[in-house]
Amino acid sequence: MSTSPQYTLYVEDEPDIQTIAQLALEQVGNFSLTTCSSGQEALDRALDLLPHVIFRFDPMNRPDQIRSIWQRHYGRQ
């Protein structure tokens, strides 16, 4: 039985790491991946994409960005 890929937003500012992660996550992990180069780009795109999972490995971004996506989508404070 085949399962549908989990739609994923991946945030990474290094293009080489983006490529490696995309190959690994799509081919091995059964993820459908969209990559972003910054937390702000991810925040801007996440509301349109509504991913199942957000991978974020950029320590320069504030942790409240994911919360902001949630609040905008669900209208909660």
> Which sequence spans correspond to the domains of the chain?
6-74
Mean predicted confidence (pLDDT) in 4-30: 86
Q: What is the pLDDT of residues 19-47, one digit of tens each?
A: 998 888 888 888 888 999 887 888 888 88
Half-sphere exposure of residue 30: CA atoms within 13 angstroms, side-chain side: 5
SS3 state at 5: coil
pTM of the entire predicted model = 0.65
The architecture in CATH of the region 6-74 reads 3-Layer(aba) Sandwich (3.40)
